[in-house]
Amino acid sequence: MGMKAHRSYVRRLSLSPEQTAELDQQGHAARALWNLLHEWWTWGGCTRRPTMRQTDEAIRQARKDIPWLADLPAQAAQQVLKTYLRAWKNFFDGHARPPEFKGRVRSRMSVDNPQASKLRIRRLNRRWGELTVIKVGRVRFRWSGSLPGVGREPGRITGARLVKDTLGWHVAFRTEQDRPDPEPRPGPAVGIDRGIHVPLALSDGNDQHHGPWLRAKEAERLLRLERKAARQWRARMRGQPASNRLRRTYDQIAKLRARAKRRRYDWQHKTTTTIAAKYGLVVAENLRLTSMTRSAKGTVDYPGKNVRRKSGLNRALLGEAHGRTIELLEYKLAERGGQMLPVPAAGTSQKCSACGHRDPVSRAGIKFSCTSCGWVGHADTNAALNILAAGLAVNGRGVDTVGRRREASTTRRSAYHPGKPARPRAAGEATPALAREGSEA
Residues marked active site are found at 193, 285, 380
Residues sharing a CB contact under 8 Å with residue 402, sequence separation 6 or more, in sequence order: 435
Chain-centre distance for alpha carbon 320: 10
Give the three-state DSSP class for 89. Answer: helix
Tell me how far the alpha carbon of residue 327 is from its chain's centroid: 7
Distance CA 111, CA 23 (A): 8
Residue 21 backbone zone (phi > 0: left; psi -120 to 50: alpha; other: beta): alpha
204 SS3 class: coil
Q: How far apart (Å, rounded) are the C-alpha atoms in residues 201 and 210?
A: 12
> Residue 344 carries which side chain, given as an amino acid letter?
P
- Which H or E run includes 123? strand 122-123
What are the strands of the beta sheet with 2-14, ordered from one edge? 110-113, 156-165, 168-180, 2-14, 137-142, 128-133, 122-123
Q: How far apart are CA 387 and CA 43, in angstroms?
A: 50
> DSSP assignment, residue 316?
H
Q: How far apart are CA 16 and CA 12, in angstroms?
A: 13
How far is the C-alpha of 350 from the C-alpha of 415, rounded, in Å?
A: 10
Which residues, listed in sequence order, are joined to residue 137 by a DSSP beta bridge? Answer: 133
Q: Is residue 306 helix, strand or coil?
A: coil
Give me the half-sphere count of Cα atoms (radius 13 Å) on the Cβ side of residue 209. 8
For residues 361 and 350, give the distance between their C-alpha atoms in angstroms, rounded to a whole number.
Answer: 8
Distance CA 309, CA 317 (A): 13
